[in-house]
Amino acid sequence: HPANPPASVFQNAAGEIGQRLFGIVMWCAAITSVIGAAYTSISFLKTFGTWTEWRTRLAIVIFIAFSTTVFLIIGRPVAVLVWAGTINGFILPFGLGLMLIAARRRPDIAIPTWLQAAGWLVVLIMAAFSFTALLA
């Protein structure tokens, strides 16, 4: 199964049952990720105003439907996961950089210089890894 190397490992190890088991495990991982991402995203939106319970449920359903539509249009789950990981790789150093800037501007927070330098070093390393992954 060259199109799906992880599934072929399970198939080689346990035959048809291994391949089916791999599919079940991947489906469980995918559905929990979609539900978790939908709930988390909507919970952030709820901070902008008052939401009733039915609006929250509707927004989660719409989010899941949108995610499903994107997947069906692209149709390549491995490529989607790689791109999602790449995008997350840029978000993490950006977020850490924002936190370091915000902490430096607050007079009630005293972060030692060496710790700030270490934080910025981590930002640079993470950003470098992200750019390397993007170019690969």
The pLDDT value recorded for residue 2 is 66
User: What pLDDT does residue 123 have?
Assistant: 97
CA 18 – CA 2 distance, rounded (Å): 16
The pLDDT of residue 107 = 87
pTM of the full structure: 0.54
What is the DSSP track for 68-104? HHHHHHH--HHHHHHHHHHHHHHHHHHHHHHHHHHHH
Task: Give the pLDDT means over successive 10-residue stretches in the chain (136 positions).
Answer: 75 87 88 85 80 82 87 79 82 94 89 95 95 84
Which long-range contacts link 103-111 to residues 24+ away (Cβ below 8 Å)?
none
- In degrees rounded to 5, what are phi and psi of residue 103? -65, -35
